[in-house]
Chains A and B, each alone.
Chain A
Amino acid sequence: QKEVEQNSGPLSVPEGAIASLNCTYSDRGSQSFFWYRQYSGKSPELIMSIYSNGDKEDGRFTAQLNKASQYVSLLIRDSQPSDSATYLCAVTIQGAQKLVFGQGTRLTINP
């Protein structure tokens, strides 16, 4: 079992709809969870971090964490074509010394 798993997609969503990205992780001791956005040919950009169960909202982005189910998700409301990118889920392990990344989900927003 991979430490962090994401559906590689591609996930296609119409403009203005809600995009839902999911991530599961295997280390029950993980405490910190991150979502990065990566445009083609560019480096990852941190867009959300979440540390406790529940929802965290930042503009059009909402991160959701459920530690009991070892599941973290990212919702993007009112999706825009500029949201088209690969979204990487990352989870801390080993007392937060290291981040482990999922393989990423490629999201396409269709005008």
Chain B
Amino acid sequence: DGGITQSPKYLFRKEGQNVTLSCEQNLNHDAMYWYRQDPGQGLRLIYYSQIVNDFQKGDIAEGYSVSREKKESFPLTVTSAQKNPTAFYLCASSIPGREGNEQFFGPGTRLTVL
């Protein structure tokens, strides 16, 4: 059963703590993405990776870090430097160059800073 999984579904963090959000896909997609969505807003790109061991900053990378050690996995760390981390975080994957980069999303992680 192919798809994208994200965990946890809900995450609560105290100010000053780093947290890591998991994203795994078994679609054999090369490219993976992290987006942030704030209430009533569209999606903003945080980081993306088109191949293993390589990734690029998106539009709002400050306060976030990623790694891409395996094709299937693209974890996102929200650091204490991120000033307003409460948001809905979405991971997506695609096959670059195929069908104009159709991206498919995981179920998301809702992060709340207490």
Contact = CB atoms under 8 A, between A and B. Distances in A.
Interface of A: 4, 8, 31-32, 34, 42-46, 49, 51, 88, 90, 92, 96-104
B41 A103 contact: yes
A92 B105 contact: no
Interface string B30-58: 00010100001111110010100000001
Interface stretch (B13-21, B67-75, B79-87, B96-104): B96-104
B102 A49 contact: yes
Contacts of B35: 101
Contacts, number: 59
Given A44-B43, A44-B90, A88-B43, A99 B105 contact: no
Nearest to A33: B100
List the 5 shortest-distance A-B pairs measured between CB atoms, nearest first: A32-B100, A101-B42, A43-B105, A103-B42, A101-B43
A4 B59 CA distance: 14
B100 A96 contact: yes
Interface of B: 33, 35, 40-45, 48, 50, 58, 90, 96-97, 99-108
A102 B42 contact: yes
Contact of A97 (B44, B96, B102): B96
A8 B40 CA distance: 8
B107 A42 contact: yes
A67 to B, nearest CB: 13
Nearest to B33: A99
B96 A45 contact: no
Given A104-B40, A104-B42, 9 more contacts: A32-B101, A43-B105, A44-B90, A46-B104, A49-B99, A88-B42, A96-B101, A98-B45, A102-B42
Contacts of B107: 42-43
Nearest to A34: B102
